[in-house]
Amino acid sequence: MRKSKGKLFVFSAPSGSGKTTIVHHLLAQNELDLEFSISVTSRQKRGSEKEGKDYYFISPEVFKKHIDNDAFLEWEEVYKDNFYGTLKSEVNRIWANGNHVIFDIDVVGGLRIKSKYPERTLAVFVQPPSIEEMEKRLRNRKTDTEDKIKERVDKAEKELKFAQDFDVVLVNDNLEKAKKEACNLVKDFINK
Domains, in order of start, for the chain: 8-190 (3.40.50.300)
At residue 133 the predicted structure's pLDDT band, cuts being 50, 70 and 90, is confident
- pLDDT tops 50 at residue 3: no
Sequence-distant (6+) residues with CB within 8 A of 103 are: 8, 9, 10, 11, 12, 36, 37, 86, 109, 110, 113
Residue 171: CB atoms within 10 Å? 16
Return the minimum-mean-pLDDT range out of 40-44, 137-141, 176-180.
Answer: 137-141
Q: Is residue 184's pLDDT more than 50?
A: yes
- Give pLDDT tens digits for 55-64: 999 999 999 9
d(CA 39, CA 168): 23
Which residue pairs from 59-65 have beta carbons closer than 8 angstroms and sit at least 24 positions apart in sequence?
A: none
Half-sphere exposure of 48 (CA within 13 A, CB side): 0
134-168 pLDDT, tens digit each: 888 788 877 778 888 888 788 888 888 999 999 99
Average pLDDT, the chain: 91
Question: 81-131: per-residue pLDDT in tens?
Answer: 889 999 999 999 999 999 999 999 989 999 999 999 999 999 999 998 888
Residue 189 reports pLDDT greater than 90? yes
pLDDT of residue 127: 92
pTM here is: 0.88
Q: Please report the pLDDT score of residue 2 as a whole number.
A: 46
Model pLDDT, residue 157: 85
Residue 1 has pLDDT above 80, yes or no: no
pLDDT average, residue stretch 16-39: 94
pLDDT surpassing 90 at residue 11: yes
User: Quick one: what percent of the chain has pLDDT higher than 90?
Assistant: 67
